[in-house]
Structures are given as C-alpha cells and as structure tokens.
Amino acid sequence: MKILQEIFVPQESVNDQTLTVVGLNFATGDFVNKDDVLIELETSKAIITLEASSGGYIVYHCKIDDEVLLNALIIQIADSKPEKDISVEKIPELPQTTSAGLIPETKSQSHKEYDTQFSQKAIAILKKNNLPKTLFKHYDFVNEEVILKYLNLDYRKVNTIESPVKPVVSPAKMQPQLRSQEFLSKVSLEKLSSAKRREIEYLSAVQSGGLVSTLYIDIDTTGILDSVSGQFTYFKNSILPLVVYETSRLLFKYPLLNAFYDNGQIGKYLNINIGLAVDIDDGLKVIKLPNTVAQNILEIEETIFQLSNKYLDKKLGVSDLTDITFTITDLSVTGIHFFTPLVNKDNSAILGISKINEKLNQCILSISFDHRVTSGKYVSSFLSELKSRIESFAISKKSTAKTAAVFECYKCLKNIADDYNDIGFIKVQTKNGEEKLICDTCLSTF
C-alpha cells in the first residue's frame, strides 16, 4: 500500500495545543476524490475543514470527539484499500473495584457507555513508564497531555517518546468518586460537548491560576438613548456601540488592560482588538470587532450587526475569532441588571454591560481583571473615565432647544453643544482628503 498523502493537525491559533474532531465525512477504506472535505476540526474559536489533495483510499487515525495534538497524523490517503482499520486502539471494559460500604459504580440506562481510547503517543508513554491503562478507564479519550498531567509534568516541555518519565503521583489520586445504585437511579448523566469542554478550559485558565477581582460602576443613562436612538439602526436601546467606541480609545491610555499574564511576565498587545462575547444558539464565542479604533460609532454598530449575523449563519472564520486583546460581554438584552464576567484566556480583563434600569436611568458596568497584571486603583481609573465619556453622549441642557441632537464630530458623532470638555471642535483632514470636524476627546486618542 503506497501512501499518497498524509494530513497532520494544523495550528490555526497560537492558543490551541489540541483540536477536537467534530466530523468525519467518510469511513476508513472509502475512496475519496481530490478536494473532498475529509474532516472537521474544532479549534478554540471556530470549525475548520481539511481537504484531500489527491484521490485514493482514506485511512483515519482519529475518531469523533478525539482531542488531537498539533502536528499529529490524523489522515492518510493510499493507492489501495487498507486491510483493516488502523486508527485508534480501543481498551476493553474491565471489572471495577469496590470500596468498603459502597456499591461498585454502574451506568444507568440513560448514561451512554463509552470505551476509553488512547492516542499513539499516550500508549508510548504508558509503556515507557509501566503504567496500566486501567488508571484512565473513566476517560473517554486519553492523549499525552492527560498522562503527563497525571505525572505532574508539563507536556509542552517533555519529549514524550524518547525520554522516559517516572510517576510521582499516587494512582489513588485518579480514582473517581464511587456512586451508589440508588444515586445513579435518580440522575441522568450527559457527556459534555467539545465546545463546552473547551469553554471550561479557556475560562478556567485565568480564574484557576490568577487573582481575579471585579469592580462595578453605574452609568447615568439619562438622555443617552434619546441622543443616539435617532442615529442607530440596530441598537436603538443599547449603549453597546458607545462602550465599544470609547473602550477602544481608552485602552491606549490603559495598556495593562490590553495585556495578559504568562509565566511571570506581562505581555502587552501592540494592537487593540476588541472581542464581543456572543452566546445565542451556537455556543459561546468571542467575535473580533476589527479596526474599531479607526471607526466611528455608526461603523462600529454596523460591524457588530454583520458579525452577529455571521455567527447566526455559522459562517464565522478563524480570523473572526482570533487575536482578541480585550473582551466585552453584553447581557443587557437578557434583563440582567448586575453580573460578574469571567476573564478569558490570554486576556487581563473583561468588561460586562448590564440591562439599563429604566426606573433609575442607570446601567451597571462591571470589569473583572487579573491582579497579576494590574491593580484595583488602575482599573477604577479606567472605569471612571469610561463612565465620563459615555455619559457625555447625553443630550445636555444646551441642546434641548434643538429638535434633535445633530452629531457633528465625525468620530463619536456628538453635537458641539454636547462636548463635555467645552473646548469646541477642530477641523481635520482625513487620509481620503476630506475635511471633517473632530471633538477634543476623540482627537486626544490619536
């Protein structure tokens, strides 16, 4: 059998060490044509597909729900049909041990039975260290990362095939909690989806290893919606575009909120890429709003709308979901008046927007931050300045005589009567050669 093509797990994001197999379009032994889509892989951000570069008989080295490592061989195309499936070794079900006073764990009828499966690298590590596979029988899939974590080793720094390692953790630590027959009869056990497992991994990255705090501030929304509702097309009852606009510019002044912690060092991003957390009907995703620093508020509103539609149509690409430096999550449409957001992996902060309380004319902004990167005083200064900027959009007493506030600053769209600095507007020339007016607040961010 001659191998015509080998396909390895690609690196689509610097954050991912593994990808999840979510779709296999053929079975081992099937004939495939050039350009056929062979497999679907889920990254931390999106679903990617891999295609055949030549026709032939396919051999899969993975299965649905496998967590496959970067650069691992997952598919081969051969010139003849393979004699057998040579993908992933299955482990037979073994009798479970008992514990004094407890009935051995059994599966209820509503709990689907899963066989433990091991990657080839995981099997090599087991053999090198004389570890029994039964230590991991309660896992659905075991790769080298799982075993090396059990050995208290960093899988990214270990040559797993050539260098044997020694167990330093008692096997007893791996034993799951045993459940009684009565307990199992009253529950329905359901396996976590790949997307949910990855969400847990990314949201746990900062919370488990960092020192996360949350600060809150109230925004006086009196007159703000009256000021912008006539200009907005899609977000007439929301301050989201205003928050994105002002946050983009403030992050230049507060770079520690546009950063991340990594092994005793602080990484400050050179670019500002605002991410918007969205969770409608396709799981939680953080969508990148590109180039918000160069956009005015109406352009930001249009960007949010277009990307939200791509999310709903399941057409988001990897570029729409990567390289996010600061995250905003908006729960205002859900009726939530107060909440604590969770900092995402490779971020140092996340800003939450709550529902506008129409009786109090108030909206609570919350920002969770990583104390390893910044401090409460630093974040409180950011929040105070953000509050002042957002409240400056309210129609002032000076403009109440007008039928409507006519926005004149080409960036933030505020009317000159509502410029809270009382400095006036400055005439500038854009890169396209157009003459525009810009307020002092927007000009100071460039």
CATH of the domain at 71: 2.40.50.100
Residue type present at position 125: I
Question: Which of 65, 87, 109 lies at the terminal end of a domain, its last residue?
Answer: 87
Checking if the pLDDT of 6 tops 70, the result is yes
Does a structural domain hold residue 198? no
Does a structural domain hold residue 364? yes
Averaged pLDDT, 408-425: 66
The pLDDT, as a whole number, for residue 325 is: 94
Does a structural domain hold residue 109? no
The pLDDT, as a whole number, for residue 15 is: 63
- Could you tell me the maximum CA-CA distance found in the chain, to the nearest angstrom? 84
Q: Supply 175's token pair.
A: 């034993």
Q: What is the pLDDT of residues 344-372, one digit of tens each?
A: 888 999 999 999 998 999 999 999 999 99
The pLDDT, as a whole number, for residue 407 is: 60
* Same domain? 390 vs 405: no
Q: Give residue for tokens 């006086």.
A: 220
Return the minimum-mean-pLDDT range out of 14-28, 185-199, 253-267.
185-199
Domain count along the chain? 4
More confident residue, 178 or 171: 178
Q: Supply 386's token pair.
A: 């953000």
CA dihedral of 370, 375, 381, 385, whole degrees rounded to 10: -10
Question: Which of 358, 373, 394 lies at the terminal end of a domain, its last residue?
Answer: 394
Checking if the pLDDT of 178 tops 80, the result is no
Does a structural domain hold residue 204? no
* Same domain? 380 vs 428: no
Checking if the pLDDT of 186 tops 50, the result is yes
Return the minimum-mean-pLDDT range out of 88-102, 218-232, 384-398.
88-102
Greatest mean pLDDT range, 99-108, 172-181, 281-290: 281-290
The pLDDT, as a whole number, for residue 91 is: 34
* Same domain? 28 vs 154: no
Q: Give residue for tokens 């546009």.
A: 258
Q: What is the pLDDT of residues 34-67, one digit of tens each?
A: 999 999 988 876 778 899 999 999 999 999 888 8
The pLDDT, as a whole number, for residue 423 is: 63
* Same domain? 136 vs 257: no
**Neighbouring C-alpha atoms within 13 Å toward the C-beta of 266:** 12
Integer Cα distance of 43 and 62 in angstroms: 16
The pLDDT, as a whole number, for residue 274 is: 95
* Same domain? 375 vs 407: no
* Same domain? 256 vs 379: yes
* Same domain? 265 vs 355: yes
* Same domain? 280 vs 319: yes
Checking if the pLDDT of 87 tops 70, the result is no
Greatest mean pLDDT range, 173-177, 233-237, 339-343: 339-343
The pLDDT, as a whole number, for residue 155 is: 47
Report residue 181's pLDDT band, with 50, 70 and 90 as the boundaries: low
* Same domain? 351 vs 242: yes
Integer Cα distance of 321 and 234 in angstroms: 22
* Residue closest to 274 by CA, chosen among 194, 328, 354: 328
Q: What is the pLDDT of residues 111-135, one digit of tens each?
A: 343 467 777 788 888 888 778 887 7
Report residue 226's pLDDT band, with 50, 70 and 90 as the boundaries: confident
Percent share of the chain, pLDDT over 70: 74
Does a structural domain hold residue 101? no
Q: Rg of the chain over CA atoms, in angstroms?
A: 27
* Same domain? 20 vs 129: no
Does a structural domain hold residue 112? no
Averaged pLDDT, 330-348: 90
Integer Cα distance of 132 and 145 in angstroms: 16
Checking if the pLDDT of 141 tops 80, the result is no
Average pLDDT in the chain: 78
More confident residue, 191 or 219: 219
Checking if the pLDDT of 332 tops 50, the result is yes
Percent share of the chain, pLDDT over 90: 33
Question: Would you give the DSSP letter of residue 391?
Answer: H
Does a structural domain hold residue 196? no
* Same domain? 254 vs 362: yes
Q: Supply 61's token pair.
A: 């080295």
Checking if the pLDDT of 179 tops 70, the result is no
Q: Supply 162's token pair.
A: 């050539």
* Same domain? 254 vs 333: yes
CATH of the domain at 334: 3.30.559.10
The pLDDT, as a whole number, for residue 109 is: 36
The pLDDT, as a whole number, for residue 45 is: 67
Averaged pLDDT, 135-159: 66
Domain membership of residue 29 as a residue range: 3-87
Does a structural domain hold residue 102? no
Averaged pLDDT, 179-183: 63
Q: Helices (DSSP H) in 58-176: which residue ranges?
A: 120-129, 144-150
Q: What is the pLDDT of residues 235-282, one digit of tens each?
A: 888 999 999 999 999 999 999 999 998 888 899 999 999 999 988 766
